[in-house]
Structure 1
Amino acid sequence: MSARPAQRVEMVPVDRITVLNPRVRNPKVFKEIVDSIAKVGLKRPITVTRRVEAGGPFYDLVCGQGRLEAFRELGETEIPALVVNADMEDCLVASLVENCARRHHRSIDLLQDIAGMRKRGHTTADIARQTGLSGEFVGGVLRLLEKGEQRLVQSVEAGQMPISVAIEIAEADEPGIQLALQHAYENNLLRGRKLLAAKRLVEQRKRRGKHVRSWRTDGAAVSSASLLNAYQEETDRKRLLVRRAEVTRSRLTFVTEALGKLLADRAMMEILENEGLRDMPEELRDRLSGMEARAS
């Protein structure tokens, strides 16, 4: 970016600043910003560039959307700002870079920002250099983006899945996906909770699609129809879990009762002893013993 920082901070009218790359803010995080500014003031000025227009001056925001919106929320009419010399292209790139480099950004924002830079004509290497992300990561995100794999991007950005595994899943059919998960487990790429999370994601991707639906993507109120659909979807999911649990319980009951009857048969016990099969897992033995005690 070819911007030259100003030598001093200027007081700029907030109603004359345009946000070129607006983001949807987390309400909790935004409230913390507002409270902090209300208590201790603005610690760091925003950055803007002056736009020549009739009736001006007007300004385009380079970075500091959260601080700007906090000032508006507090009813302030002016905000301290560094005014730099930059064209609209440079301002947009700087805004995208700031969002990509933000330490605690949402993964869906990361997808939008990298996509925005690609649409502006930047190469993978250029995006990696400007954001501080690795070329492999940026290239992987772009490949997932081309396939509309928002869920996989979210999982990768959250550290739940390596980018290589996500790409393999995105390019595989159903049997190939299971094989990809198996290979990831064997290569120690997915173990324990991460493996379980990956399996849940694959199931959600199969049932709900590749895209992540947001409750409020444009600031509009949630409709009653969307709430009803979400409730119905969650109800169906819970009913499915209950049915699976009931089937599993019935099978376990059948197995334990069958084993109990077999072990009560003296001829069967003699066969097991002759085959050297006298031991059984301690938990199973205790459960069978409890069933015998209740039966008597």
Structure 2
Amino acid sequence: MSLGQSIEIIPVNTIDVVNPRARNRRIFREITTSVAELGLKRPITVRRKETDNETRYDLVCGQGRLEAYQTLGQREIPAIVIEATSEDSAIMSLVENCARRQHRAIDLLHDIEGLKNRGYEYDEIARKTGLTVEYVKAVISLLENGEHRLLRAVEAGQVPVSIALLISQTEDTEVQSVLQQAYEQKLLRGQRLMAAKKLIEQRRRRGKGYKTGPRRMESASVSSNSLLRAYREDVDRKKVLIRKSNSTKSRLVFILEALRRLLAEADFVALLEAEKLDTLPKNLVVRLQGTT
């Protein structure tokens, strides 16, 4: 792929961000501070496109640097201007994402989906991005099925993409076997295993994706198993509450009996009066007097 290019100073307001990405605020502040104090270390990369009225540019690489310039009120920015097709630009953007030291997996996933939508086959995407065909197939499957919770877990490094794909393809009743398999293969252990269990429960209760507004309705028909499970969960919660209540009651009885014995000692009462500690809460006094 041979691309003509040159370095130019171009107006900021002529640049279009074709595939905008959410930025980490802390990292963005660091970029902005660096640009303000040291200047731009590396030009952004843009693709020239001719329109009817003016020359405009599609951003290929450097969204953070561009936004830092905009934040600082700069009107022009140094840019490497390339002559390339939109497909070539998309691939270049994806390659730069892959080269980041701390790239966001969700950006890579959406870029991969973009290549698939442009007609590229799985093996072509894998060859252009340096990823495996299995990985490409897995992430596209998750995206097509709206598995945003699983994708977020993959991005955070909580769940391997292979396990996320298995979960998406498994019925809720069989998910535990997937976790068991992942545990035995040492793919999920410790905190990652606990996070995966929490994720699966949230996915079961709230759905695959993150939605605003009213929560989605579960199945209109409620099975006897789901009712029994809900009943047992409620019983378990109440048992825990009862145990805590009994424990608190036992401690209170112990404290009251200890106070009765201490207050029966004249020397102890005299010491409390000398230190001006001879007052008690009304509810405690009532219980010490044996009144309920």
TM-score (norm 2): 0.70
- Tell me which of 138, 144, 147 is aligned to 1:146: 144
How far apart in 2 are the matches of 1:102 and 1:130? 16
How far apart in 2 are the matches of 1:293 and 1:251? 17
Q: Indicate the residue corresponding to 2:276 in structure 1.
A: none
Q: How big is the alpha-carbon RMSD for the aligned residues of Structure 1 and Structure 2?
A: 3.1
1:247 lines up with 2:239 in the alignment: yes
Is this contact kept in 2: 1:100–1:114, CA < 8 A? no
1:5 lines up with 2:14 in the alignment: no
Shift of 1:213: 5.1
Is this contact kept in 2: 1:21–1:96, CA < 8 A? no
Shift of 1:249: 4.6
Shift of 1:14: 1.0
TM-score (norm 1): 0.70
Structure 2 counterpart of 1:250, one-letter code: I
Is this contact kept in 1: 2:172–2:204, CA < 8 A? no
Q: Kindly tell me: are residues 201 and 169 of structure 1, through their superposed partners in 2, closer, same or farther at Cα, counting changes over 3 Å?
A: same
- Tell me which of 177, 198, 202 is aligned to 2:175: 177
Q: Indicate the residue corresponding to 2:112 in structure 1.
A: 114
Q: Indicate the residue corresponding to 1:27 in structure 2.
A: 25
- Tell me which of 79, 82, 88 is aligned to 1:81: 79
Shift of 1:78: 0.9
1:48-63 superposed matches below 5 A: 48-63=46-61
How far apart in 2 are the matches of 1:139 and 1:102? 22
Segments of structure 2 that go 5 or more residues without pairing to the other structure are 216-232, 259-292
Shift of 1:136: 2.2
1:71 lines up with 2:69 in the alignment: yes
Is this contact kept in 1: 2:46–2:82, CA < 8 A? yes
Quote the sequence identity (%). Answer: 49
- CA displacement 1:52-107 (0-9 Å, x = unmatched): 23343322221111111111111111111111111222223322443354333333
Is this contact kept in 1: 2:94–2:108, CA < 8 A? no
- CA displacement 1:181-207 (0-9 Å, x = unmatched): 122222222111111011000011112
Is this contact kept in 2: 1:21–1:95, CA < 8 A? no
Is this contact kept in 2: 1:18–1:59, CA < 8 A? yes
Task: Give the secondary-structure state (helix, strand or coil) at the position aligned to 2:4.
Answer: coil
Largest Rg, 1 or 2: 2
1:165-204 superposed matches below 5 A: 165-204=163-202
Q: Kindly tell me: are residues 78 and 253 of structure 1, through their superposed partners in 2, closer, same or farther at Cα, counting changes over 3 Å?
A: closer
- CA displacement 1:155-194 (0-9 Å, x = unmatched): 2233222222222211111221111112222222211111
Q: Indicate the residue corresponding to 1:205 in structure 2.
A: 203
Shift of 1:128: 2.3
- CA displacement 1:201-234 (0-9 Å, x = unmatched): 00111122111359xxxxxxxxxxx6xx89xxxx
How far apart in 2 are the matches of 1:72 and 1:292? 68
- The number of residues matched between the two structures is 238
Structure 2 counterpart of 1:248, one-letter code: V
How far apart in 2 are the matches of 1:163 and 1:121? 23
